[in-house]
Chains A and B, each alone.
Chain A
């Protein structure tokens, strides 16, 4: 158990819908990362937040957005869902998340999203 929690574990929805994935980092970790993993693309970095502010951006679509709240939990919002958005979504956390520093990331169990 990494100490990172994600909810829900599974999510099935229809195209065009909007969903919110939630992540609680390890106690004391200030930085949260979101990743998308699909069979054909591998593990893709989406976005990183540090203490409530966006720190780094990866291959995140405009239909996706994220935020980190004062209690440090984070939410990833996926809207106008398409079939291709079906994937495993992982959240990870690290202690500081200083820019450019490759800190050890602790990953949650993931949310499996299926868009029908």
Chain B
């Protein structure tokens, strides 16, 4: 079971870069790392997914060190609208495992952006 640990909450200011780190010491070889964003009273929304090194899209970057025991979601130049809960998930790609394990959202990280 690839359990994840994230900060409960963080805050920052508009225009800053925000980095949220997720620990997953028991990550398995076939596990991918996925981040979701959730606004109040809305369903989570996919942000980014990666396996190793660095992944970047129009919204965020995901940094994964060589040992893959942690990952960092980087949000460049945040705005007030980035205030949300961010979830880190770790899941299996193969038939050997996964199932419900990769669907554990937990309580996420509450990110608050101030003016």
Interface residues of A (CB under 8 A from B): 2, 4, 33, 35, 42-45, 48, 55-58, 88, 90, 92, 99-102, 104-110, 112
Contact = CB atoms under 8 A, between A and B. Distances in A.
A39 B98 CA distance: 26
B107 A102 contact: no
Contacts of A108: 43
A99 B100 CA distance: 9
B104 interface: yes
A33 B103 contact: yes
Interface stretch (B9-17, B55-63, B67-75, B87-95): B87-95
Given A43-B105, A48-B103, A99 B95 contact: yes
B97 A35 contact: no
A55 B101 CA distance: 12
B110 to A, nearest CB: 11
Contacts of A57: 99-100
Contacts of B44: 43, 90, 92, 105, 107
Interface of B: 30-32, 34, 36, 38, 41-46, 49, 87, 89-100, 102-108
A102 B99 contact: no
Contacts of A56: 98-100, 103
A17 B13 CA distance: 46
B31 to A, nearest CB: 8
A101 B105 contact: no
Given A42-B106, A43-B106, A100 B42 contact: no
Nearest to B38: A43
A114 to B, nearest CB: 13
